[in-house]
Amino acid sequence: MALLDIRLLGEKVLRRKADPVEEITDETRRLVSDMWDTMYEAEGIGLAAPQVGMSLRILVVDVADEDESRHVHALVNPVVVESSNATDKAREGCLSIPGIEETVTRPARVTVEALSVDGEAVRIEADGLLARALQHEVDHLDGVLFIDRVSPLKRSMLLRKWRKSKAG
C-alpha cells in the first residue's frame, strides 16, 4: 500500500491533457492500486491519475447509488462516447481543491468506453452519481476542473475563497 500525494489547484499537471496509456503493465496496475489506497484514505469517491502527479488517462471511482448498490471501476483511457441532452445539477467537490464545493450542471446520463486494468474493453452506461463522478474524473484527464464548469463570477468567488483558505 502506497499513499500518493494529491496535487492541489495551481499545479500544472492538473491543467494538462493527460497522455493515453500505450500499454497496461505491472507498473500501471501498481499505480491503480496506489490510487485506490489514496482515494480511500482521502475519503473520496473518485480520483484521476493527474491528481497524483501522473499525466496518464487513468481513473478510479467507487460510488454507491441511492439503493446502496456500489459501482467500483478502474478505467484506462476512458472516453465519454454518449451523453444525454437531459441535465442534472448537484454539488461537487474535489480532492485537489479541498474545502470548496459548488453546484455543477452535467449531462444526466453518459456512456463511457475504456479498458480495464486487465486490458479488457469496458462499456459503462451510467446515470446519477456514477455518471457525475465519471464525467468529473474524465474532465481531470482533459485538464478541466469542476470550477471550470460554473459561471465566471462563481469561479472567481471560489478561487478567492480557495486562496483565502490557503493563506489562513
Q: What is the arithmetic mean of pLDDT over 66-77?
A: 88
Share of the chain above pLDDT 90, in %: 89
State which amino acid sits at residue 20.
Answer: P
Q: Could you read off the pLDDT of 94-151 as tens digits, one per residue? A: 999 999 999 999 999 999 999 999 999 999 999 999 999 999 999 999 999 999 999 9
pTM attached to this predicted model: 0.95
Residues acting as catalytic residues: 137
Q: Give the pLDDT confidence score for residue 55 in this predicted structure.
A: 98
N- to C-terminal Cα separation, the chain: 33
Q: Could you read off the pLDDT of 37-47 as tens digits, one per residue? A: 999 999 999 99
Which cell numbers hold the place of 135?
464525467
Q: Give the pLDDT confidence score for residue 125 in this predicted structure.
A: 96
Which CATH superfamily hosts domain 12-167?
A: Peptide deformylase (3.90.45.10)
- The residue extents of the domains of the chain are 12-167
